[in-house]
């Protein structure tokens, strides 16, 4: 899988291989994001959480120093509560999610990790680089990541592409997870894309 990702985009998301990782989408951090970027990131990550719930895909959520940055934002917190047993929340102080041993172990158990979160150029980048170093195929969802400075978001995505991560979007992820219009979940998952 790692070779595919390094060949710039030939790798595909698959429900039987992926885990979804949401990085630090917390109240105080997200309040510092440009409004349109914040709304886009929260909407698209919520869609991925709901699709993951329907498809039985594990969801990992990190919270960076929650005492200072707060809890995961709404409506993601509610979406994660509905996801129930497929979602696991891990608090951390390291910028990379791989700095927390139990989270790093769970992430490394999957051949590929789909990442959304904040900030693109800090915690998302450090996590993705560590996962790539561990041989995991990494998909960074460009319309589900944000940074306080949009230029730094672009720089983070460019750096991750050069490092071998697959830069994708949330709609591609959902349709790759489905794989076929005959999938039992096709109607309900595709409906998520029509919701505002």
What's the pLDDT at 33? Answer: 97
**To which residue do tokens 């927390």 refer?**
100
In this predicted structure, the answer to whether residue 196 has a pLDDT above a threshold of 60 is: no
Euclidean distance between CA atoms 27 and 37, whole angstroms: 14
Q: What is the pLDDT of residue 6?
A: 47
Instruction: Note the pLDDT of residue 9.
Output: 56
| pLDDT score, position 2 | 41
- Report residue 4's pLDDT band, with 50, 70 and 90 as the boundaries: very low
* Chain segment 26-39, per-residue pLDDT in tens: 999 999 999 999 99
Could you read off the pLDDT of 124-165 as tens digits, one per residue?
999 999 999 999 999 999 999 999 999 999 999 999 999 999
CATH 3.40.50.850 fits 2-192, yes or no: yes
Q: What digits encode the pLDDT tens for the residues 171-181? A: 999 999 999 99
Please report, for the chain, the start and end positions of each structural domain, with discontinuous segments joined by +: 2-192
Instruction: Give the model confidence (pLDDT) of 50-89 as tens digits.
Output: 999 999 999 999 999 999 999 999 999 998 988 887 899 9
């Amino acid at each position: 899988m790692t070779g595919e990702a390094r060949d710039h985009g030939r790798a595909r998301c698959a429900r039987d291989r992926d885990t979804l990782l949401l990085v630090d989408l917390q109240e105080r951090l997200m309040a510092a994001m440009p409004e349109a970027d914040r709304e886009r990131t929260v909407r698209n990550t919520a869609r991925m959480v709901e699709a993951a719930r329907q498809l039985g895909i594990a969801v990992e959520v990190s919270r960076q120093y929650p005492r200072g940055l707060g809890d995961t934002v709404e409506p993601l917190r509610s979406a994660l509560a509905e996801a129930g047993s497929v979602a696991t929340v891990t608090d951390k102080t390291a910028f990379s999610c791989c700095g927390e041993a139990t989270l790093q172990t769970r992430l490394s158990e999957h051949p590929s990790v789909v990442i959304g979160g904040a900030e693109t150029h800090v915690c998302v980048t450090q996590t993705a680089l560590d996962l790539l170093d561990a041989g995991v195929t990494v998909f960074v969802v460009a319309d589900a990541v944000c940074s306080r400075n949009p230029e730094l978001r672009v720089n983070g995505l460019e750096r991750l592409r050069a490092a071998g991560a697959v830069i994708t979007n949330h709609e591609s992820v959902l349709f790759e997870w489905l794989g076929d219009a005959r999938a039992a979940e096709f109607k309900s998952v595709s409906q998520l894309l029509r919701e505002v």
